[in-house]
Structure 1
Amino acid sequence: MDELLRQATTILLGMWKRRWLGIIVAWVVGLASVAAVLAIPDKYEASARIFVDTQSILRPLMSGLVTQPNIDQQVMMLSRTLITRPNVEKLIRMADLDLGIQSKGERDALAENLMSSLKIANTSRDNIYTINYRDTQPEHAKRVVQSLVSIFVESNLGDARKDSESARKFIDEQITTYEKKLEEAEARLKEFKLRNLATQSAEGKDHFAQMSETGALLEQSKLALREAEQSHEALKRHILGDEPALLPAPVQENISGVSIPEIDSRLDIMQRNLDAMLQRFTEKHPDVVSARRLIKDLEEQKREEIKARRKVAQASPATSMSTNPVHQQLAISVSEAEANIAALQTRVAEYQARYDRMKEAVKLMPQIEAEFAQLNRDYEINKNNYEQLVKRRESANMGSEINNTVGVDFRLIDPPRVSPKPVAPNRTLFLPLTLLLALGAGIAVTFAASQVRPVFFDSRSLRETCGLPLLGTVSMLTNDATKRSQRRDLIRFAAACISLVGAYGAGLLALFLFSVRTA
């Protein structure tokens, strides 16, 4: 610790030795820095505020039906990409900043300066954008802000609309491509169905289901054929068997199986009349009783007629065979049975042929079904993609119509205006900084001078630096004249330091009074 204090004391004494050099450097640096601060030209700031209204009652109503871009994000991206080289060059022409430009280098430098000086700030919640620009000439600053506001408003998301048009064009191209693919897939599927028409069914059943159904129909047809053959044999036995079997026994009174047309027609009419009267009257009504009596008389008459015919048939059997209605009915039934047997035989043969063909085609069905599944899968994929693209195109078209109808509203809240007083440089802040810079420069110079030409103030420092033995030291005795000279020198140094600080204070006071007077 003592060593550090000794070194610090040595350094401070060396700097004090060069104090006049430091105060001169401080005055020079102070005057130069003050002149530099005062030489900085005043800059005036022009600003404008724009409100971008992206809200519309139509957008939430059409939500989910159309493709709606994120308008807020597009406006924010537009604000961030507004200060680009093409827009800045357009702004230079609109603000007439290129009137004094003589070369391309000057134009490029002006464009770079504008791109670095223009500022666009926004509050993301309210969509309010502020445009700021500073220039030494107030009118130039105002024209630049006015031109940038015009470019901002006139752009009106034109690039976003171009992107929408490009997206719709891409979707149209994809729709055309998938339409061709869909037509090709439909043609392949149609060709496959025509080539394998025998393996398909209208109900959409596969080959094994059709084969099972055909087998069931074949068994049913065979069963029906056997039933028809048995019925035919029974009818033939009735015809070729004993004759009394053709006519009912004489003791039987059943007349329902024998037909006498003239009596049966009257019985039918009377029975219908009786049914109609029973719907209106009871059993005891005179008309109902009379109708039942007439029906009974007709049935008795029919019964007597049948008895008479049976007697005639027993007397001449040969004649009764040809005229017997039962025999005629049996002959007709035999003919119908034979026709039915022929039809069933044809049906059985057809079903048997179908079943045999399906049984032979079983070996090829896995390959056919695999090919059909592949074709159908390709067709479904192309169809789904095509339908999705068509829906998206309609949604994009409707969204574009909504954007064209609703649009984005740019409202100029604060028109471009210039601050009446300069906003830069802040001399009241720079002048104290120049004082600190001057003092720092003086101290740095004295320190550097003390290190370049060091002075030894004690025997120990001299011995450590030289590395030689020191025999002794001689003290210096100051007289009164020397003390008075040192005192005057100290007073002059203090006056120089105080005058430096006082000059800065006077300058700050004058600057403050000037700013208050011009306010």
Structure 2
Amino acid sequence: MNLILEEVRAALWSVWNRRWLALGIAWAICLLGWLAVAMVPNSYQSEARIFVQLDDVLAEQIGIGGASRERDIERVRQTLMGSVNLEKIVRSTRIGDEVTNAAQMESAVARLSEDIQVVNEGQNLFEISAVSGRSDYSDSENAQLAQVVVQRMIDIFREENLGGSRGEMRETIDFINAQLESRQAELEEAEQRRLEFEALHPELVGGAASVLAELNSSRSELRGVEADLAASESALAAIDSQMASTPRSLLTPGSGGPQAALAQAQANMAAMRARGLTDSHPDVVALSREIASLREAAQADGGASGTANPAYTSLVSIRSQRLATVQGLQSRAAGLRSEIAGITANLAQEPGVSAEAQRISRDYEVLRQQYDELLQDREQLRLRGQVENERSAVQFEIVDPPSTPRTPAAPNRPLLLLGVLIVGLGAGAGSAFALGKLGSTFATVSQMERAFDLPVIGTISHAVTEAGRAVSRRRLKYFTAAAGGLGVLFIVLLGAEFVQRGMLA
């Protein structure tokens, strides 16, 4: 700790011993620095905030949603800093008074783009700021120019979202109308080609794809008809089998004739079997022979006797219906087979014609689909345009109008003046301390002992006469006056800065 204090005392002695050098360097640096600070022009910043309302129920119903409007505003925010809009600002302000050629305009636009900022502070809040610090303008002119630039930016922002969007809507509708006219002419030509082709080849209407679809449909229908036909034929065979085992008339005992005798014999046979007699029993064998002879006699008689069987009559009616169904299905199946054979023959014999039919049909469908989509887009755009004209989906509200700057935004001149003063004093003291280190003298006895590694017996103090003291006091007054003058100059410059600001306000 003692060593540190000793070094501090040595440094202070070295600086004080060369105080005039340190003060001279401080004066030189402060004068140059304050002159440089005075040459820096003041920059004035004007700010404004606008609120953009995006919510609109009617706009959302027709497809102008909040997301769409946000994209539009983001696009406008990006294009707002474009060279075209900046050139409008240059020409509408006093900046354009000195612009006489394209090179100067490009330079003015480039400088203006650095001085303007558009910041999105929230979902619907935008801040527009402009800085003006031109050396050829006065402070009041720079402050007024910054405010005018911000106001022009607000005007352009409004024009881009209202007038610009409406103009773009009209241009878009005109473009779609031109495209519709072109598509309509192409669609009419394609339809005429298709009609001519269908007149020459009616069997290939719709192209190969349509013919193949028709072929697949016919084959599917044929499979269904064949399945129904098989079921109907099976039902008809069942009816035929049932009719073969069903008598046409019913014979009753006592009715007389061969038919009555046959019925009596069959009744006796049923009674014998009921008693358990087998076919090898003599009575059964004899009665079987009798039944056979009676059946022959009944057939020879022609069945004149007996009662008509109603079950047989019903089966005959059912068979007639099923037979008609089978015949109808057979006819339909034959027609489908003939149709399939004709379609297959056309496809096999004329592959080029089929390909042409497919191409014509495809071109027509593509053109028709494009025409329908364009027509729908045009109607939607017309509706959107009407809504935007009568009830704008974007509403502006200026939250904070362009401010009139009263104090410079840059530079912070009081802080710079103080910084130059500190740098000057530090540079002077540092120079004096550095020269003391380069010299061959020692400020304290301890430094000499450490340097030579020998004990110091004693020191001789500086003897000052009365005349010398008077000279020292006079020099100290001069030094104090010079150092005080530096401080007074700093205070004067600082006061002049605040007075200048007050005059602008």
Pick the aligned partner of 1:119 from 106, 117, 130: 117
Quick check: 1:49–1:412 contact (8 Å CA) kept in 2? yes
Give the equivalent residue in structure 2 for 1:22. Answer: 22
Give the equivalent residue in structure 2 for 1:495. Answer: 481
Instruction: Spell out, residue by residue over 1:217-274, the C-alpha distance to the aligned partner (whole angstroms, 9 max, x if none).
Output: 332222123234455x625999xx977979xxxxxxxxxxxxxxxxxxxxxxxxxxxx
**Quick one: which amino acid aligns to residue 153 of structure 1?**
R
Quick check: 2:406–2:504 contact (8 Å CA) kept in 1? no
Deviation at 1:39, TM superposition (A): 3.5
**Quick one: which amino acid aligns to residue 223 of structure 1?**
A
Label 1:515 to 1:436 Cα distance change in 2 as closer, same or farther (>3 A). same
Distance 2:476 2:4 in 1: 27
Give the equivalent residue in structure 2 for 1:89. Answer: 87
Quick check: 1:82–1:152 contact (8 Å CA) kept in 2? yes
Pick the aligned partner of 2:238 from 219, 223, 226: 223
Please list every run of 5 or more consecutive structure 2 residues that lacks an aligned counterpart in the other structure.
195-205, 261-301, 338-361
Give the equivalent residue in structure 2 for 1:478. Answer: 462
Instruction: Spell out, residue by residue over 1:414-473, the C-alpha distance to the aligned partner (whole angstroms, 9 max, x if none).
Output: 6656446655544444433332233233233334434455643356646766xx776967
**Quick one: which amino acid aligns to residue 90 of structure 1?**
K
Quick check: 1:88–1:114 contact (8 Å CA) kept in 2? yes
Give the equivalent residue in structure 2 for 1:406. Answer: 391
Pick the aligned partner of 1:347 from 315, 322, 326: 326
Instruction: Spell out, residue by residue over 1:464-503, the C-alpha distance to the aligned partner (whole angstroms, 9 max, x if none).
Output: 66xx776967744322235554454444333332332233
Distance 1:342 1:57 in 2: 68
1:352-391 to 2 correspondences below 5 Å: none
Distance 1:120 1:515 in 2: 27
Pick the aligned partner of 1:199 from 201, 216, 219: 219
Label 1:117 to 1:215 Cα distance change in 2 as closer, same or farther (>3 A). same
1:36-75 to 2 correspondences below 5 Å: 36-59=36-59, 62=61, 69-75=67-73
Deviation at 1:23, TM superposition (A): 1.0
Instruction: Spell out, residue by residue over 1:153-184, the C-alpha distance to the aligned partner (whole angstroms, 9 max, x if none).
Output: 21117479969969x98xx99xx9xx99xx9x
Quick check: 2:54–2:124 contact (8 Å CA) kept in 1? no
Quick check: 1:217–1:351 contact (8 Å CA) kept in 2? no
Secondary structure at 1:124 match in 2: coil
Instruction: Spell out, residue by residue over 1:30-67, the C-alpha distance to the aligned partner (whole angstroms, 9 max, x if none).
Output: 2233333333334444455544333324135x18x676
TM-score by length of 1: 0.57
Q: Does 1:148 align with 2:133?
A: no
Deviation at 1:114, TM superposition (A): 1.0
**Quick one: which amino acid aligns to residue 220 of structure 2?**
Q
Distance 2:457 2:214 in 1: 128
Distance 2:215 2:412 in 1: 92
Deviation at 1:28, TM superposition (A): 2.0
1:115-514 to 2 correspondences below 5 Å: 115-124=113-122, 127=125, 129-135=127-133, 136=137, 137-138=141-142, 139-156=144-161, 158=164, 189-201=209-221, 214-230=229-245, 234=248, 337=316, 340=319, 344=323, 347=326, 397=381, 402-403=387-388, 405-407=390-392, 408-411=394-397, 418-419=404-405, 424-453=410-439, 455-458=441-444, 461=447, 475-481=459-465, 482-509=468-495, 511-512=497-498
Quick check: 1:49–1:413 contact (8 Å CA) kept in 2? yes
Give the equivalent residue in structure 2 for 1:267. Answer: none
Secondary structure at 1:478 match in 2: coil
Distance 2:332 2:411 in 1: 107
Quick check: 1:37–1:427 contact (8 Å CA) kept in 2? yes
Label 1:97 to 1:124 Cα distance change in 2 as closer, same or farther (>3 A). same
Give the equivalent residue in structure 1 for 2:107. Answer: 109
TM-score by length of 2: 0.58
Count of matched residue positions in the alignment of Structure 1 and Structure 2: 392
Across the aligned residues of Structure 1 and Structure 2, the Cα RMSD in angstroms comes to: 5.5
